[in-house]
């Protein structure tokens, strides 16, 4: 009789939430999640679907988390003001207490900062980039309109994914960041190698990455066509969780030593250098030197791939005492109220203001083109998630993606720039716009 293969973290989480001892790759299982999280843009359609089937209750209001995070400020004439009112009224009617209104921040951060996502928990969401909750050992399963099934029935079916194991070794060198790590992964494995997989990150180098770094990597892994992603839970993650769980239970799950992986990848963090993603493809990633000198019109720090406190600290470290180029408009979008408040306490918001940047309220903001719209022929560099034509305005504009350090350095120079010149050369110019 053949011995059963060990189980991965994802398999163990899905098995527990399906009421089973174990699950197998490719198996369809019905799971009951710990939480279901959604954002406002989809709710006019969700409400219409609820009305069409005559449903005016949800199975577990206590499990629902609804966040207004894409439109923190509904402008005059905007249809989003009506959506804000819809959700205020609807959540009250449905008894959903976990409703977070404008300027709360992104639901990705809400889930971890407020202790909804915890080790061993299962979350059904409306976006693949909420895999960022995997930094605390929680598993995100993304759905589209099927998210309503989870709200109405407190369950939905899931296909058990294969697992790819990524082991980090070493530590990042000055000028390189977590964003450069995931950009390199997308370049090397973004052609379908992670299709229908959960990417499980770990290895000895994980300890050198902050919780913000880990969320950045996880938030962008879905661009490699993965179903989801998760990380090993170490002492750093456990300390973070203990401060935020608010008495909610959790269980740290680890992959078995004999768990079966679709592939195992080793990455040396010390070999990572600053990278830039060139439009219009996520996989079109190059060392910053290859595109240095490209003039820019806009620079953005924000999105679920670059709006946490570490991202703001990195950008501010270069902008402090300097001025962005006169040809550049710069926006900074903190990821949550907590990030905004802590950035204010540390003086980071003052640094941005003094450098000539505009600090926006917590939310998605510029990433999806709600604010900071680009005109034809304009070029931006940002920490955003996407770089396809028309994402941030005109289809004739161009969006480059990079780390907060590279974005800040480029804003100072008015062109794409290697951030290491500001780290290595104390004589780097304090005034922006000169080469």
Instruction: List pLDDT tens digits, range 320-340.
Output: 999 999 999 999 999 999 999
Residues 39 and 142 in one domain: yes
| CB-based contact 371:74 (threshold 8 Å) | no
For the segment 99-124, the average pLDDT, to the nearest whole number, is 97
How many domains does the structure of the chain reveal?
2
Domain of 378 in residue numbering reads as 276-420
Residues with Cβ within 8 Å of 425's Cβ and at least 6 positions away in sequence, in order, are none
Asked if residue 428 is part of any domain, the answer here is no
Residues 228 and 285 in one domain: no
Asked if residue 381 is part of any domain, the answer here is yes
Q: Tell the residue number behind the tokens 């456990």, with chain if given.
A: 238
Residues 42 and 151 in one domain: yes
Asked if residue 337 is part of any domain, the answer here is yes
For the ranges 74-78, 126-130, 397-401, the lowest mean pLDDT is seen at 74-78
Residues 298 and 408 in one domain: yes
For the segment 331-360, the average pLDDT, to the nearest whole number, is 98
Residues 233 and 292 in one domain: no
Tell which residue, 401, 189, 167, 179, has the closest CA to residue 296: 401
Return d(Cα 332, Cα 304) in angstroms, integer: 13
Return d(Cα 273, Cα 288) in angstroms, integer: 8
- The dihedral built from the CA positions of residue 195, 198, 202 and 205, taken in this order, carries a sign that is positive
Structure tokens at 78: 């905007």
Residues 216 and 177 in one domain: yes
Res. 223: pLDDT tops 80: yes
Given 267, 298, 324, the domain boundary residue is 267
CATH code of residue 304: 3.30.499.10
* pLDDT computed for residue 434 by the predictor: 38
Asked if residue 370 is part of any domain, the answer here is yes
Return d(Cα 202, Cα 81) in angstroms, integer: 43
Between the ranges 81-85, 203-207, 243-247, where is the mean pLDDT highest?
203-207
The whole-chain average pLDDT of the chain stands at 95
* pLDDT computed for residue 1 by the predictor: 46
Residues 215 and 349 in one domain: no
* pLDDT band (50, 70, 90) for residue 425: low
* pLDDT band (50, 70, 90) for residue 4: confident
Task: Give the single-character DSSP code of 383.
Answer: S
Q: What is the pLDDT of residues 274-309, one digit of tens each?
A: 999 999 999 999 999 999 999 999 999 999 999 999
pTM, two decimal places: 0.95
Residues 73 and 198 in one domain: yes
* pLDDT computed for residue 288 by the predictor: 98
Residues 235 and 281 in one domain: no
Residues with Cβ within 8 Å of 333's Cβ and at least 6 positions away in sequence, in order, are 300, 301, 302, 303, 307, 360, 361, 362, 363, 364, 365, 366, 367
Asked if residue 202 is part of any domain, the answer here is yes
* pLDDT computed for residue 74 by the predictor: 78
Residues 58 and 105 in one domain: yes
What per-residue string of b and e applies to 59-72 under the rule 16 or more CB within 10 Å gives b? ebeebbbbbbbbbb
For the segment 85-111, the average pLDDT, to the nearest whole number, is 96
| CB-based contact 315:407 (threshold 8 Å) | yes
Peptide bond into 280 cis (omega under 30): yes
Asked if residue 251 is part of any domain, the answer here is no
Return d(Cα 402, Cα 408) in angstroms, integer: 10
Return d(Cα 314, Cα 411) in angstroms, integer: 13
Q: Which residues pair with 31 in a beta bridge?
A: 156
Res. 428: pLDDT tops 90: no
Strands (E), 114-262: 122-125, 139-142, 156-159, 162-169, 197-202, 228-231
For the segment 219-246, the average pLDDT, to the nearest whole number, is 97
Res. 372: pLDDT tops 70: yes
* pLDDT computed for residue 2 by the predictor: 58
Share above pLDDT 70 across residues of the chain, in percent, rounded to a whole number: 97
Residues 170 and 316 in one domain: no
Helices (H), 126-210: 147-153, 178-189
For the segment 399-406, the average pLDDT, to the nearest whole number, is 98
Peptide bond into 205 cis (omega under 30): no
* pLDDT computed for residue 157 by the predictor: 97
Tell which residue, 213, 198, 216, 267, has the closest CA to residue 401: 216
* pLDDT band (50, 70, 90) for residue 72: confident
Q: What is the pLDDT of residues 149-161, one digit of tens each?
A: 999 999 999 999 9
Res. 430: pLDDT tops 60: no
| CB-based contact 318:429 (threshold 8 Å) | no
Asked if residue 70 is part of any domain, the answer here is yes
Task: Give the single-character DSSP code of 222.
Answer: G
Q: Is 170 helix (H, G, I), strand (E, B) or coil?
A: coil
Residues 191 and 281 in one domain: no
Asked if residue 402 is part of any domain, the answer here is yes
* pLDDT band (50, 70, 90) for residue 423: confident
Bigger pLDDT: 120 vs 79? 120
For the segment 416-431, the average pLDDT, to the nearest whole number, is 72
| CB-based contact 167:267 (threshold 8 Å) | yes
- The dihedral built from the CA positions of residue 145, 147, 152 and 155, taken in this order, carries a sign that is positive
Q: Which residues pair with 300 in a beta bridge?
A: 331, 382
For the segment 145-173, the average pLDDT, to the nearest whole number, is 97
């Amino acid at each position: 009789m053949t011995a059963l293969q060990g189980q991965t973290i994802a398999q163990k989480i899905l098995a527990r939430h399906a009421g089973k001892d174990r699950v197998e790759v490719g198996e369809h299982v019905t799971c009951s999640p710990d939480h279901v999280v959604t954002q406002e843009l989809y709710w006019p359609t969700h409400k219409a679907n609820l009305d069409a089937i005559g449903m005016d209750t949800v199975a577990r209001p206590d499990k629902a988390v609804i966040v207004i995070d894409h439109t923190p400020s509904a402008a005059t004439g905007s249809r989003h003001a009506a959506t804000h009112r819809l959700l205020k009224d609807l959540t009250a009617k449905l008894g959903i207490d976990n409703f977070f209104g404008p300027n709360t921040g992104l639901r990705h951060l809400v889930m971890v900062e407020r202790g909804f996502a915890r080790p061993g928990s299962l979350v059904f969401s409306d976006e693949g980039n909420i895999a960022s909750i995997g930094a605390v050992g929680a598993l995100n399963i993304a759905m589209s309109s099927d998210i309503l099934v989870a709200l109405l029935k407190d369950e939905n079916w899931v296909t058990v994914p294969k697992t790819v194991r990524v082991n980090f070794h070493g530590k990042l060198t000055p000028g390189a960041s977590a964003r450069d790590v995931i950009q390199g992964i997308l370049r090397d494995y973004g052609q379908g190698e992670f299709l229908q997989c959960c990417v499980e990150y770990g290895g000895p180098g994980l300890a050198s990455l902050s919780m913000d770094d880990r969320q950045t990597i996880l938030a962008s892994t879905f661009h490699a066509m993965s179903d989801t992603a998760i990380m090993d839970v170490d002492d750093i993650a456990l300390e973070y969780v203990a401060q935020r769980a608010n008495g909610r239970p959790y269980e740290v799950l680890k992959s078995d030593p004999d768990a079966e992986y679709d592939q195992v990848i080793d990455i040396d963090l010390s070999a990572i250098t600053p990278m830039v993603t060139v439009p219009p493809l996520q996989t079109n990633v190059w060392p910053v030197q290859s595109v240095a000198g490209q003039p820019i019109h806009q620079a953005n720090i924000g999105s679920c791939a670059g709006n946490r406190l570490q991202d703001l600290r990195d950008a501010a470290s270069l902008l402090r005492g300097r001025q962005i180029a006169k040809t550049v408009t710069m926006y900074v979008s903190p990821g949550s109220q907590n990030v905004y408040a802590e950035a204010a306490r540390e003086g980071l918001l003052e640094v941005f203001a003094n450098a000539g940047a505009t600090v926006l309220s917590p939310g998605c903001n510029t990433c999806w083109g709600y604010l900071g719209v680009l005109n034809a022929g304009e070029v931006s560099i940002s920490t955003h998630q996407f770089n396809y034509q028309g994402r941030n305005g005109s289809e004739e504009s161009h969006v480059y993606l990079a780390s907060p350090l590279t974005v800040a350095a480029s804003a100072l120079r008015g062109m794409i720039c290697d951030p290491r010149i500001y780290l290595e050369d104390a004589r780097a110019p304090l005034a922006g716009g000169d080469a």
